[in-house]
A and B are shown apart, each in its own frame.
Chain A
Amino acid sequence: MSELTRADVAHLAGLARIDLSDAELDKMVGELGIILESVATVQNAPIADVEPMSHPMPLVNVTRADVVRASLTPEQALAGAPEQDQQRFSVPRILDAE
């Protein structure tokens, strides 16, 4: 397994919209590296004859009819929003998006 680089962590932080200082980046490279190493031991599991599985239940086609159900009221929907304006969720400006 190739080693986690500082650039990898900076890239991931960017995708997750987390602003990391240089010191934090250095710290995270070390900590995440140890975590990845630990998790990597799972790759030693004997899986040669095991089918990949994403869902533990042998179910398919769990669907519902196309029938409208009651939604929340806008007041309920917005009740947990830290900021709201004009019946909409107010969110911070997106950095570097354009």
Chain B
Amino acid sequence: MTQATTEATVPYEEALAAYDPVLGLEVHVELNTATKMFCGCATTFGAQPNSQVCPVCLGLPGALPVVNEKGVESAIRIGLALNCEIAPWCRFARKNYFYPDMPKNFQTSQYDEPIAFDGHLDVELDDGTTYRVLIERAHMEEDTGKSTHVGGATGRIHGATHSLVDYNRAGIPLIEIVTKPMVGAGERAPEIARAYVATLRDLLAALGVSDVRMEQGSMRCDVNLSLMPTGADRFGTRSETKNVNSLRSVERAVRFEIQRHAAILASGGSVTQETRHWHEDTGITTSGREKSDAEDYRYFPEPDLVPIAPAADWVERLRESLPEPPAARRRRLQGEWGYADLEMRDVVNAGLLDLIEETVAAGASPAGARKWWSGEIARRANADGRDVPAYAAAPRRDPRPCGGVGVVGHQRPTQ
């Protein structure tokens, strides 16, 4: 049998002519709670190493976890926004593994009783069509510590002599959102993957539950991909590409894996079930460890945490308090402002929606607000090498009921 972990590829069109991709996405999102999921340690990003740790998140003997109520609330709100069912009763589980990023030797997670399940998210593609992504589950868990590998090349584990671990991140609440396998996406699989993650990011931002900053790791994406011969109905062996951490990379990683799997299958080989590492610089994936089976994690109900049973009336209150979905909001604002499709797309892509909404609310005309932010301020931001939203302080701080938006421009942008 041919070596199945090569990085050889065939042209994309050739791959799609012979195979149907099956795509699944697992997104981990760090919640923006003030404290960790099971202890009162702060979650501030960028703190001194091991300054936000305690006996619970260090796994010291005798320490007992207590669930962060806000973490549960955020999980339910995410589940509801993804049109999921909310479990009336569910438990945490221990996922046992021996790796120094978790000092407890297990990660507290959920196994067969996720708090949210069976949902969907409608994703609008660039050409205006909508693709419905089915959501398998969204469950609560905790983040791991951060390892720096010493002795190898540029912090990578390969060739390292030892590792240094900072546990500030260990125990920060994570929600893992898992799609059902997407079948039939065909050549649009990479585009759909990117659009899904972008839509999910917007939704989580609107919910206010996370910073959703992929570049800081508060939102991370794993790409599961397999191919089956065109017309087949049995899924092929999948690879799981970990930590694909930008929208563009999600699209590229799906595309690369389609091409790589096709090269293996076309040469008569079989795909190895394994995790893969994504390399942003070269745009390829390389072999990681062989994927453990679920039974290797020896999941069992977490005895130190009692079950979570969200009251039905609480869930209904949370459902009623959900914000307007981002896509619906965009449609409403476009109607109110009378923007052409292209104008609206540019405004959305530049991240100007909130700014224009505030500026219009402050008395400006929609057309004037758009010209101001996407013209004058964009020019200045470009010259300063910054994003336009970095100038966001301006309209809020000028309470004058201005007829023209020009006045806001006189203030110095804040850093």
Contact = CB atoms under 8 A, between A and B. Distances in A.
Interface string A57-98: 101111111111111111001100001011111111110111
A16 interface: yes
B367 interface: no
Interface residues of A, number: 38
B162 A88 contact: no
A61 to B, nearest CB: 6
Residue from A62, A66, A72, A85 whose CB has the most chain B CB atoms within 10 Å: A66
B163 A90 contact: yes
Contacts of A89: 50, 100, 103, 164-167
A27 interface: no
A54 interface: yes
Interface string B12-50: 000000000000000000000111000111100000111
B98 A88 contact: no
Interface residues on B, range: 35 or more
B50 A77 contact: yes
B48 A87 contact: yes
B162 A93 contact: yes
Nearest to B147: A91
B119 to A, nearest CB: 23
A45 interface: no
B382 interface: no
Contact of B69 (A55, A63, A88): A63
Given A93-B160, A93-B162, A98-B288, A87 B309 contact: no
Contacts of A71: 40-42, 51-54
Contacts of A65: 69-70
8 contacts: A15-B98, A55-B307, A60-B89, A61-B309, A69-B41, A88-B50, A91-B162, A98-B158
Interface of B: 33-35, 39-42, 48-55, 58, 66-72, 89, 91, 97-100, 103, 147-151, 156-158, 160-167, 277, 288-289, 292, 296, 300-301, 303, 305-310
Interface of A: 15-17, 54-55, 57, 59-74, 77-78, 83, 85-94, 96-98
Given A55-B301, A61-B309, A91-B162, 7 more contacts: A60-B89, A74-B49, A77-B51, A87-B166, A89-B167, A93-B157, A98-B288
7 nearest A-B residue pairs (beta carbon): A69-B40, A66-B70, A88-B164, A54-B301, A63-B69, A60-B309, A91-B100
